[in-house]
Amino acid sequence: MLNLLWLVPVLPFFSFLILALFGKKFPIKASAVLGAGSIGLSALLTLIIGIGFISNPPENFRFVQTFWTWFNVAGLNPSISFYLDPLSIVFIFVITFVGFLIHLYSIEFMYEEEGFSRFFAYMNLFVGSMLTLVLADNLLLLYLGWEGVGLCSFLLIGFWYKDPANGAAAQKAFIVTRIGDTAMAIGLFLLVANLGTLNINEILTKAPAVWPQSSGMATAAALLLLGGALGKSAQLPLQTWLPDAMAGPSPVSALIHAATMVTAGVYLIARTNALFILAPQVQMLIAIIGAATLLVAGFSALAQHDIKRVLAYSTISQIGYMFLALGVGAFSAAIFHFMIHAFFKALLFLAAGAVILSLHHEHNIFKMGGIKNKMPLIYWTFLIGSASLASLPLITAGFYSKDMILWFAWSSPKGSAWLWAAGLFGAFITAIYTFRLIFITFFGTQKTEIGHTPGKLIKVPLVILAVLSLIGGFIELPGTLGNLPLFSGFVEKVLPSAPVHGENILQEGIFQAIAAITALLGFYIAYLLYLRRTPSEGKNLLQKFFYSGWGFDWLYERIFVRPIIFLAKINKNDFIDLIYTGIAAGIGLFHGLLIKTQTGKLRWYAMGIAAGAVITLTIIVFL
């Protein structure tokens, strides 16, 4: 059963190849079946493998399927092998399952577009690369998948390539993540140089043996890997690409920039957890970055006009929560939040896409409104997703995952009150901007007419994801509400468990209550601000600051972009070329001088002869 593991990433790759080579000639239905079907098959296989794994776990809860050795150079021999353990099972489940739903949705969403098969080819390549990333046995294969998803992100953001703005957004995404990728590559080099291997398991056992706690090398390696994670997961300071990546189609935003690619950084850190445990300063840094990002992004989401940009900043903010959890050592909480976030964020993006499609590609929320009754299914699914995002207590899955993170932020020995306060305040802001979005988009007076009504292929995935957003949390009930640690029990077979101060149920209960009240408070404030009064776009200074994402783009433009463009411009005529053109110009000058001696005048030549005679005589006779 487990030997079918290799099919899971290979099926999407295979379908990508066929679609890339022959897709233009296929009828639309064939591309759709092939594109979505391959992911569907992978999802089915994942289900079977998952059930097999849980019911009959292999030894040590790990399963490796090796194909061949990639290369063997100076003792370094990474192999193409897939590695299955609880962490990767969670990830491939989310990727294939949510991916399949999104592919179904895209069939209807992209139905009239030209480039239909191209879209599915890219999407399948993406899913294949992402699966490779999470199933990789060694960091080199992981990096292969990492680059693959980066490439597909670029291709899909700039899918409507005829508009140069989309191309620019794709370039920005690629370049910013490249910075992180370079840091990660250097980190890999460090690991190879010091530990001699890139196999993940070997690293996890060797690193504590080779490097003492908090050694410089461990800190450096961890820091560099963190750099890579920051780029891919759009955290401070490399978060500027994600809001602009919304230029791509909505299914792309749902799959890549909500559910899967941006969580690759979380996966990386969770996988190489031993390294980060060896470098506690870096882990503290992860927590701080997570907390700072979730606040910055949260405030920015408050001031956005574009429906997808609100969700983009929201994604940055929620991944900040995951980083916060990783930073305080609550690895399982981070993975749990990842799974729940994948459900509700994909749901939100797909629903937003349906809204945009129905309102003739209108993105500005201030031009929407009053469509609550015209599109009931979309409204209710959007509402459920938003409730999960805002972690409304008890009924939504988001409540359980976010609450778990907040509890560990307070109680873990690596956590602190400040981190908990930041997370709590972030939850407050999250609730406000989420319901702001709902109230402005769906309530009030209608400003745009409805065009396209969504069909089954759009509605069914939305419903499924909505259901998951509600019940997904029940597999991990905290101590105060039944103590059913199914998920963390599963995942902590391979991840270090989060140490807790004391098993104080009462304390935990109090904090849960505080979190619940905060979420409801946020909902109420949003109601006051945006439903009672008519919302306006608002252009005062603070709103402008938040709108621009705390001015990071402005800052980077001035610090990095302009100097580099300036340097490129002054070197436009390659300064090395100056040597050659300089020689040519010098010779030209000399030629000009020589020409002046050819005056054509007889007397001048006679003078020349006389002068020559004088000089020759001087040299011969007198010197």
Compute the least distance from the CB of residue 589 to other proteins, in Å. Answer: 16
The nearer residue to other proteins, 75 or 600, going by C-beta atoms, is 600
With a CB cutoff of 8 Å and minimum separation 6, the contacts of 465 are: 98, 101, 343, 344, 346, 347, 350, 381, 385
With a CB cutoff of 8 Å and minimum separation 6, the contacts of 275 are: 203, 204, 207, 218, 221, 222, 225
Tell me if 611 contacts other proteins by CB under 8 A. yes
**Phi-psi category of residue 420: left, alpha or beta, with phi > 0 → left and psi -120 to 50 → alpha:** alpha
Residue closest to 125 by CA, chosen among 152, 96, 146: 152
The nearer residue to other proteins, 25 or 603, going by C-beta atoms, is 603
Tell me if 453 contacts other proteins by CB under 8 A. no
Compute the least distance from the CB of residue 602 to other proteins, in Å. Answer: 4
Tell me if 621 contacts other proteins by CB under 8 A. yes
The nearer residue to other proteins, 532 or 596, going by C-beta atoms, is 596
Give the x-and-dash track for 540-579 against other proteins (CB under 8 A).
Answer: ----------------------------------------
Coil, strand or helix at 361: coil
Hey, what are 420's tokens? Answer: 């908990």
**Segment near other proteins (CB under 8 A), from 174-182, 401-409, 556-564, 611-619?**
611-619
The nearer residue to other proteins, 455 or 608, going by C-beta atoms, is 608
Q: For residue 269, what is the enclosing H or E element? A: helix 264-271
Residue closest to 472 by CA, chosen among 494, 489, 487, 461: 487
CB 283 within 8 A of CB 277: yes
Q: How many residues does the chain have?
A: 623
The nearer residue to other proteins, 74 or 621, going by C-beta atoms, is 621
Tell me if 589 contacts other proteins by CB under 8 A. no
Helix-helix angle 397-411:417-442, to 10 degrees: 160
**What is the spatial distance between Cα 337 and Cα 320, in angstroms, rounded to a whole number?**
11
Q: Among 119, 617, 619, 623, indicate the residue that binds other proteins (CB under 8 A).
A: 617
Compute the least distance from the CB of residue 595 to other proteins, in Å. Answer: 6
DSSP state of 535: P
Tell me if 599 contacts other proteins by CB under 8 A. yes
Tell me if 603 contacts other proteins by CB under 8 A. yes
The nearer residue to other proteins, 565 or 610, going by C-beta atoms, is 610
**Segment near other proteins (CB under 8 A), from 312-320, 397-405, 429-437, 591-599?**
591-599
SS (H, E, C) 39-91: HHHHHHHHHHHHHHHHHCCCHHHCEEEEEEECCCECCECCEEEEEECHHHHHH
Compute the least distance from the CB of residue 158 to other proteins, in Å. Answer: 58
Compute the least distance from the CB of residue 591 to other proteins, in Å. Answer: 11
DSSP state of 394: T
Tell me if 591 contacts other proteins by CB under 8 A. no
The nearer residue to other proteins, 569 or 601, going by C-beta atoms, is 601
Q: Among 417, 541, 595, 623, indicate the residue that binds other proteins (CB under 8 A).
A: 595
The nearer residue to other proteins, 162 or 591, going by C-beta atoms, is 591
Tell me if 601 contacts other proteins by CB under 8 A. yes
Count the site residues for other proteins by CB under 8 A.
Answer: 17
Compute the least distance from the CB of residue 611 to other proteins, in Å. Answer: 6
Q: For residue 502, what is the enclosing H or E element? A: none
Phi, psi for residue 485 in degrees, rounded to 5: -85, 60
Q: Among 373, 600, 619, 623, indicate the residue that binds other proteins (CB under 8 A).
A: 600
**What is the spatial distance between Cα 388 and Cα 394, in angstroms, rounded to a whole number?**
10
Site residues for other proteins, 462-491, by CB under 8 A, read none
Alpha helices by DSSP H, 158-215: 164-195, 200-210
The nearer residue to other proteins, 567 or 595, going by C-beta atoms, is 595
Tell me if 613 contacts other proteins by CB under 8 A. yes
- Number of Cα atoms under 13 Å in the Cβ half of residue 563: 5
CB 325 within 8 A of CB 490: no
Tell me if 606 contacts other proteins by CB under 8 A. yes
**What is the spatial distance between Cα 163 and Cα 40, in angstroms, rounded to a whole number?**
32
Tell me if 622 contacts other proteins by CB under 8 A. yes
Residue numbers at the binding site for other proteins (CB under 8 A): 595, 598-603, 606-607, 610-611, 613-614, 617-618, 621-622
